[in-house]
Structure 1
């Protein structure tokens, strides 16, 4: 397919998806005919993938850790739970029921790169060994995990069985018939206690209109990581106390955050700077940071009329605090992405950052034990890192649900794989993999002695992830979420470039209103009302505020 054909297809696909989100009939013939012609879709009625997306079905040998290591012990426990029981365990029941499907292949989408190493090297081969069911991992970019799933559904290709999707996509995919509810399968096969093992923030994420549309599978909770050796330095502590009449410590408010960062920069730069952030356009840190601070500052996303609430005092306060943090940060802060920020922190150039959970594992050099983690340096700060909750309310930035494609020709087998992979013992082994970027989300993960033995401070790391989830905030879960996010990214990058914050907020609010109107105000209001029911939808509706906080020793 040449560039012109690809542009034409993508333009047509975007129009189809907009129509799909509005609940309108789509031009299925366009998607099917043009997609097959250009090789962008799978062959209808088969499990053959298009050449550009095809991955060999042959899997590598199962990648198992040393049996005496914490990960090796977790993998052994997962295998034992799958083969020996307990007989009422979800892993055991899934394997027993799936054996009758041996010989088939299930096609599962995964984010391209490190995420896909789990089903390629571990869970996929183990599942085949246990059940005889092969797996074909279809690696897609994050946007394509949505658009290609919708396109295949419109084309009725039956190309996918298991979909890895962002929780933000659940409402539109459920209403559009792209994914199937799991309630009947859960009643038949799952130990119901396993649903209670999810942290309360994550338990409700796959639910929509009273049904369960997937299994949550990735606790992408932001947390604060800081240099204990710097924060505990006697000279710095005395100087901070003398200047501000309070103790130097992990900041509790965003005003304190920029103050602490500026103090450290003023005293230690250029050797060490107070903070760093991934502010680069599209990285995608701007929208996550704005959303967590905006809501912690009392901001409301939409009014009763569904007009954007961005252009407000909370919006101005958020941008003011973010600009102050930028000023106190490492040079080049506004061009950093998540990986370059990790590198700066690991090399000891930054005193504190907030980011996704792999940060803690990288700081301890656990992630770097995997050959695939070759894009970050060895940590020079191992043993020197403390953990704290992000000031205000931390963002749960994306995450993943495993969902069942409504068009799957192997629906039961696909469901059983999902139940097995997310069961407590198997998911523990998966979130302990050094390379796969799946992060803890079950209470049994946070309480695990095996995970707590991965590195010296792993127990404290897990407790902080749990505590962060107690007060955490969710991404917007409604159609158009990506467009709302992109507007926030443009808002922030324009302010970093010198645009007046008030004018930038007005522009972003107008863009949000355009997105809402394009998708239908009444429809979006209904989705937003569903979102507001979820724990973590606002700073006044967190797990903690709802009386469901989980306390760990």
Structure 2
């Protein structure tokens, strides 16, 4: 079916008790909403019986049990089997960054060497330096459109405290209407100056198309961008052999660098509670998500199921299609990734944040008003869902947040 209709079709099957499917495959952060409907089966008994190697130290998920909690669990129980690795990963143009004239001009202007940015301040300097729309070049094209852009707001916000700036406190209180939330929103809006004039309408197709034409110095995208665009078989790509990858920009907090990315979309397999074949359905998902089979699917040059297991990052075919320079950075990005909201009301929470960020981007609201209005909406959603239920989900969700702190170089 057309991309984006998976959740709608799943909810239709659940609400009408249609029972048309044994397995649903939707975005990862729908897990909480679907579990609360009772429409997907709890998989704990099958996991205990068949012992998937998800936390195997050599082939399993990055961060072992923490990775399993991030990708497959809701409120401490297994409800999904990850079949994707949509960890947002930063890439840049090596031909621009390696050009001697560009290096000299940058150092003359900013007083330090041109290199992939370690901090958001460096990212802003570099993006502004390469912003040359009259020459068809934008400084950075990490997305700003509705439904996708707020993942890039996340990266700025969550890196403001050590080890993370959380979205909610342990008491369930939203934390975004704060100095950090307002600062992240102001940065997010201010960064439009080094984007396309049409940035708020660009989705990933426009982003990938622009980067393929050499139209951006940096961007943050799905980890498959080099797979498709740094590819001699792609005759429409002008950046083959000219892409490098880097860890997300971060911030210095308490003498360490807090560098964070985010997980967004990422298809997950779930077993329908209406299925008469739940055991077989689960076993199919366990097989599809196993080390050997998933690496084979991920390595498919035309496929879009991105790597996330340790075995993927060492598999020679995956390393070939995703490129050795990139795949190790992807692995380290995974270790620094925070989850987007994946507990009950995820869709409503994200819609409220998204709409208010869009209002800021279009100057309809100040950053202060956008965060205040988001907080008010989040409180309403929490009351509607049930605050006790939400508290448990928030606390168990925190088990999956990263704790990696990088040295200040």
Give 1:196-275 correspondences, 5 Å limit.
196=57, 197-200=60-63, 202-204=67-69, 205-265=71-131, 269-275=134-140
| 1:296 paired to 2:159 | yes
Indicate conservation of the 8 Å contact 1:168/1:476, yes or no: yes
**More contact order relative to length (CA 8 Å, sep ≥ 6):** 2
Structure 1 residue 184: Cα displacement: 3.2
Q: Distance in 1 between matches of 2:277 and 2:387?
A: 37
2:38 to 167, 177, 187: 177
Indicate conservation of the 8 Å contact 2:170/2:394, yes or no: no
Indicate conservation of the 8 Å contact 2:208/2:225, yes or no: yes
Gaps of 5+ in 2: 251-259
Indicate conservation of the 8 Å contact 2:53/2:290, yes or no: no
Q: Tell me which residue corresponds to 2:289.
A: 422
Instruction: Give 3-state SS (helix, strand or coil) of 2:321's partner.
Output: coil
Q: Which moved more, 1:296-305 or 1:355-364?
A: 296-305
Indicate conservation of the 8 Å contact 1:271/1:349, yes or no: yes
What is the CA RMSD across the aligned residues, in angstroms?
Answer: 2.4
Q: Tell me which residue corresponds to 2:227.
A: 361
Q: Distance in 2 between matches of 1:413 and 1:277?
A: 41
Q: Tell me which residue corresponds to 1:383.
A: 241
Indicate conservation of the 8 Å contact 2:166/2:175, yes or no: yes
| 1:314 paired to 2:180 | yes
Give 1:519-530 correspondences, 5 Å limit.
519-530=385-396
Q: Distance in 1 between matches of 2:80 and 2:42?
A: 7
TM-superposition CA deviations, 1:113-158 (whole Å, max 9, x none) = 5xxxxxxxxxxxxxxxxxxxxxxxxxx7143155235314xx2x43
Q: Tell me which residue corresponds to 2:362.
A: 497
Specify the structure having the higher radius of gyration (Cα): 1
TM-superposition CA deviations, 1:521-547 (whole Å, max 9, x none) = 22212221121222x2xxxxx15359x
Q: Distance in 2 between matches of 1:195 and 1:479?
A: 29
Q: Distance in 1 between matches of 2:54 and 2:343?
A: 29
Q: Tell me which residue corresponds to 1:141.
A: 5
1:409 to 271, 276, 295: 276
Q: Tell me which residue corresponds to 1:454.
A: 321
Q: Tell me which residue corresponds to 1:186.
A: 47
Structure 1 residue 172: Cα displacement: 4.1
Q: Distance in 2 between matches of 1:112 and 1:500?
A: 36
Distance 1:175 1:331, change over 3 A: closer
TM-superposition CA deviations, 1:223-266 (whole Å, max 9, x none) = 11100010111111112112211111111122221211001115
TM score, norm. by length of structure 2: 0.87
TM-superposition CA deviations, 1:18-55 (whole Å, max 9, x none) = xxxxxxxxxxxxxxxxxxxxxxxxxxxxxxxxxxxxxx
Q: Distance in 2 between matches of 1:391 and 1:355?
A: 14
Q: Tell me which residue corresponds to 2:195.
A: 329
Instruction: Give 3-state SS (helix, strand or coil) of 1:181's partner.
Output: coil
TM score, norm. by length of structure 1: 0.66
Instruction: Give 3-state SS (helix, strand or coil) of 1:482's partner.
Output: helix
TM-superposition CA deviations, 1:296-336 (whole Å, max 9, x none) = 12343123543322221111211222223210223322221
Q: Distance in 1 between matches of 2:334 and 2:290?
A: 20
